[in-house]
Chain A
Amino acid sequence: MPRIGAFVCWCGTNIAGTVDIEQVVQAVSEMSGIVYVKDYQYMCSEVGQNLVKTAIKEWQLERVIIASCSPRMHENTFRKAAKAAGLNPYLVEVANIREHCSWVHKNKEEATKKAIALIRAAVAKASLNTELIAKEIDVENRALVIGGGIAGIQTALDIAEAGYQVDVIEKSPSIGGKMAQIDKTFPTLDCSACILTPKMVDVASHPNINLYTYSEIESVNGFVGNFEVTIKQKARSVNLEKCTGCGICTEKCPSRKSKSEFDEGLRTRGAIYTPFPQAVPNVPVIDREHCLKFNTGKCGICEKLCPAGAIEFGQEDVLVTKKYGAVVVATGFDIIDLDKFGEYQYQNHPDVLTSLEFERLTNAAGPTAGKFIRPSNNKRPEKVVFIQCVGSRDVSSRGKSYCSKICCMYTAKQAMLIKDKYPDIEVYVFYIDVRTPGKNFDEFQRRAVEEYGVNYIKGMVGKIFPAGDKLIVHGVDSFTGDTLKIEADMVVLAAAAQAKPDAEVLGRKLAISTDTNNFFTEAHPKLRPVETHSAGIYLAGACQGPKDIPETVAQAGAAAAKVIGLLSKRKLVSNPCVSVVNEDLCNGCLSCLKICPYDAIAAKELATNNHGITSKRIVAKVNEALCQGCGGCTVACRPGAIDLKGFTNKQITAEVDALCH
C-alpha cells in the first residue's frame, strides 16, 4: 500500500458551507493507506499549495488526494505542485467535492456522506496510479487560417506579424467576407471598404502570408503541432501569375445571366468575373456552369482578348498537401433563407429586401451606384419599413431560437443611413426588443430615434399585402395596442444569422464539434472562448456564433495569440493519459478504430512465430500523439485489450467498488 496524503479544501464556504469538513477529515484519516490528512480554507492558494509540497517531503507521500473543486479547475495546479516537490504529477488524484457535491446538495449530512464516499473512491483509484511520463513532440511552425473574412484576415495578419508563416484558405474567389459587402459600419459609421480593403492588401503583400483563394479543405490529418492538410484549389481557369487584372475579359464576356453573389443577386455578372473591383486577388474566375465555352464549345472571347494570355480553359482542380502547427477556423456565417416567411412577400415582391441586399443597395459601389431606389420601379421610396427578428428568437420550425445579436445595431445603422441622405423619407422599425449592449451601442441606436426621427414601433408585422405599387404593412404597436397599416414603398427584413451550411462537414474533417445550431463549439464558454476541444484548432469570428466586427476582430486577435503561443514552443508536451493496446489480447476486430473520434487508431500487422511457423495477424495500434484520452475505445473493446493510461479499467473498477462500499 503506497503512502497516501489527503488534502481537504473548504473553498471558503463553497464546500465548507455544505460539507462538514471536520467529519470528513476524521473519516479520511481512517481510510487504509492514508498517512496524512490536512484541511485548509483555500488549498489552491500559495499557502495551500505549500502545505501539499511540504507534506509530500516530510511524510514521504507517494500519492496525493486533493478533495476540492472539479479537476477541470485545478488538477493542473496541484500536479505542478507535486512535481515541484519531486512527485510524479500523475500520482495526484482530485476528488470533486464541490461541483459534484456541495454545490448540488442542500442537506449537510448527506453531502458530508457523499464527500467521504467520493474521497474513498479517489483513494482507491490513486493506490493504483502509476507514474506517467509525458513525451515531447515537434511543432511545425506554420499556421493555417480557414476563411478569409475579417476574422481570418485579422488572425492571419497578427500571426504573420509575429514572424510565423500563415496560409489562408478562402472558398470564394476573393477574401473580404461579409464585411466587404457592407456599406457603412456601426457604431461609428465609417465606410466598411475604407477600413477593410487596406487590410486585404496587407494580407496579399505580407511576406509571411500565402493566400489560397477559390480553395477548400479536402482533408485534415495529424494533431496539434503536426496537422497535415490537403487543400483543393478549384480550377480558376485564369492563371494567377499571368493575369494583370486589366478587366477586359469581365467586361466583354457575352454570358451575362448569372446573378452576382457579391451583390446579393441585385445585379448580373459575366461568366468570367471578379466579385468586386477591390477583390484580392484581383484576378477573375470563370464560372464554368455559365461559361459558353464550357457549355457549347464556342465563344472563348476572353481568351482572345486577354493581353496577358492568362486564360486557361484546361485548368483542373489541384490538390496540395501541407503541414501546419495550428489551425484557425474563421468561416463566418450566412443569413437564413426567407422561403418559409411567405407573409413578408420576399419571394413575391422586388421591393422586399433582406438586410444584406439593402447594404448593397445603399453602397456607393453597389448595383445602383449608391442611388437609393426601389428595385421595382427605380424610384426613390418615400416610406421604408424595417422588420427585425425575422427568424430570430423563433423556436418554430422556420426560425432560429437564438438572438442574432447584430440586427438591432445594423438596422439602426441602415435606418440612419437613409435619414442622413434623405431626411424626407419616413422610416419605421418594427422590433420585439432593442438589444444594444456594447460600447457606444445604445447611444448609437438612440441617435436613430432622437436625432434622426426613425419611428421605432415595439411590435411585429403580421403580414404584408401588396396593393398597387405599395406594400401595405399590417403591424401592431404593443404600447398603445393599436393595429397599424403602413403604406410602404420598401421593406427590409433583418433575417436571422445562421451557421454556414457546410460547417458540420468541415467540423467533421477537423474533428471539432458544432452546437445544435451548427456553430462551432468553443472549449469553454467563459474561460476558453477561442479554443476548440481539439488541441491546436482555434475559432475566430462569426463561425462560433453571431458577432459584429469589433467582437470578431477581438476574437481574431485572441486566436492569433493562442496560435503564436503554440508555435513559439518548439516542442510540445503530450498528454500521457493515452490508450495502450495489449497486443496479446487484441483480436483485431478494430471496433476501437471505428469509434475513435480522433482517428488515433490504426491497424497494424503483427508477425507471430509459433514454433517456427510464422503467421500474420492484425492488431490495433494507438497513435499516442493523436489520442486525446477520451476512453471511447476502452468500452468498445470486447476482449478488454485496450486500456487508458491513468484511467485503467482496474482503476475505474476500484473507484466504483469504493463508491459502492
Chain B
Amino acid sequence: MIRVKITPNNKQSQLQYIREISGVNINKCIQCTKCSAGCPASARMDILPHEIIRLLQLGQVEKIFHSKSIWNCASCFVCTERCPRNIDIARLIEAIRLTIIRQPGKSKFKPDDVPGIIDDKMPQQVLVSGFRKYNR
C-alpha cells in the first residue's frame, strides 16, 4: 500500500495537463460529496467522484489512474448539475481518461473488441461513443 505523499514531483505535469484540458479549478471543491451521493455509477467505482477530486488536490494522480472509476463514469452529468461549487466533475473525469488514452497503446476499447459485444439491436451510437470515450 502506498501511503499518501502530497503531490509527488514527477506527477506535476500530468496534474497540470488534467487541469488544463478540463478547465476545472479543483481547489473550489469543498468535499461535500454531493457528486458521489448522486452518481448512478458509484456502485461500479472503487474511488468515488469526490475522492477523485480530493486525490487530485493532493496530487495523487497515480491512484486515480489505477482506479476503475474513471472507466465506469457514464458522463451522465448528474454530478456537474448538482455540484454547489460549480465544478464540472464530468469534464474532470474525461480529462483524466484522456490523459491516459492519449498515450500510445493505452486505448481501452479497440476495434478487436467489437465482435465480442455487438448484437443485432445495438445502435451505432454505442460504438461511436465507445470509441470516442475509450479510444484515441
Q: Which residues of A are in contact with B by a Cβ distance under 8 Å?
A: 343, 389, 393-396, 399, 432-433, 458-463, 474-476, 478, 481, 483
Q: How far is the CB of B38 from chain A (nearest CB, A)?
A: 3
A476 to B38, CA, bound (A): 9
Q: Please pick, from A394, A474, A478, the residue contacting B31 in the complex, using a CB distance under 8 A.
A: A478
Q: Which stretch from B77-85, B104-112, B116-124, B126-134 is at the chain A interface?
A: B77-85
A568 to B34, CA, bound (A): 55
A344 to B109, CA, bound (A): 37
Task: Kindly state whether residue B48 has any CB partner on chain A within 8 Å.
Answer: yes
* Contact yes or no, A432 B37, CB < 8 A: no
Q: Which of A399, A461, A481 has the most CB of B within 10 A?
A: A481
Task: Point out the residues of chain B lying under 8 angstroms from A393, CB to CB.
Answer: 30, 32, 84
**What are 5 A-B pairs at a CB distance below 8 A?**
A389-B84, A395-B84, A460-B33, A474-B38, A483-B43
Task: Point out the residues of chain B lying under 8 angstroms from A475, CB to CB.
Answer: 33, 37
User: Contacts A396-B86, A399-B84, A483-B42 given: A462-B48 contact, CB under 8 Å?
Assistant: no
Number of B residues near A (Cβ < 8 Å) is 23
* Contact yes or no, B38 A463, CB < 8 A: yes
Task: Point out the residues of chain B lying under 8 angstroms from A399, CB to CB.
Answer: 84
A394 to B30, CA, bound (A): 10
Q: Which of A433, A461, A476 has the most CB of B within 10 A?
A: A476
Task: Point out the residues of chain A lying under 8 angstroms from B33, CB to CB.
Answer: 458-460, 475-476, 478
* Contact yes or no, B30 A483, CB < 8 A: no
Task: Point out the residues of chain A lying under 8 angstroms from B34, CB to CB.
Answer: 460-462
Task: Kindly state whether residue B51 has any CB partner on chain A within 8 Å.
Answer: yes
Task: Point out the residues of chain A lying under 8 angstroms from B78, CB to CB.
Answer: 462
User: Contacts A432-B30, A481-B48 given: A396-B83 contact, CB under 8 Å?
Assistant: yes
Task: Kindly state whether residue B92 has any CB partner on chain A within 8 Å.
Answer: no
User: Contacts A393-B30, A459-B32, A481-B48 given: A474-B37 contact, CB under 8 Å?
Assistant: yes
A459 to B48, CA, bound (A): 12
Task: Point out the residues of chain B lying under 8 angstroms from A483, CB to CB.
Answer: 36-37, 42-43, 48
Task: Point out the residues of chain B lying under 8 angstroms from A463, CB to CB.
Answer: 37-38
A396 to B28, CA, bound (A): 12
Task: Point out the residues of chain B lying under 8 angstroms from A474, CB to CB.
Answer: 37-38
Task: Point out the residues of chain A lying under 8 angstroms from B47, CB to CB.
Answer: 481
* Contact yes or no, B82 A432, CB < 8 A: no
* Contact yes or no, B39 A462, CB < 8 A: yes
Task: Point out the residues of chain A lying under 8 angstroms from B43, CB to CB.
Answer: 483
Pairs of residues from A and B, 3 with the lowest C-beta to C-beta distance, nearest first? A462-B38, A462-B37, A394-B84
Task: Kindly state whether residue B50 has any CB partner on chain A within 8 Å.
Answer: yes
A108 to B33, CA, bound (A): 48
A393 to B85, CA, bound (A): 8
